[in-house]
Structure 1
């Protein structure tokens, strides 16, 4: 099975009202002429905690927004490409 090729389509950032008077934030993209919601931030109905929601197959997965924020804040100091690893960290072959 081949690995999917990533794409970087233009993104839309929207505030929208959900059923009733609740509000959510959404990032979406137009891919092959179809609008796809990619990420939503919504509030829990019981305690107003904030959650990042993504589509995983046919299921909606919710991640605490605080955890997603930590991931984003930590990424610049931790994440790097395989090419950088090969350039900077591998020992030269003899």
Structure 2
């Protein structure tokens, strides 16, 4: 009786330790890929920000705006070094 229990416990521990993580990884990756394809079909784009193909570009309506180039933003001019400001005398108010 005790040996049967220990054998079942040992086999269950092996399955939980080595087989279950591989199986879960396979199931989760498959689920995520399925959801990505579903969202791509729903919104008409490629999953994960991939570039659209030529057939999708040709289907664009005549009134749609397409931006091919976005110029980089210029950083605002900042002084190179702070040389200090005007001295303000502190006066305690009671």
Q: TM-score, normalised by structure 1?
A: 0.25
Q: TM-score, normalised by structure 2?
A: 0.25
More strand by share: 1
More helix by share: 2
Q: Which structure has the greater CA radius of gyration?
A: 2
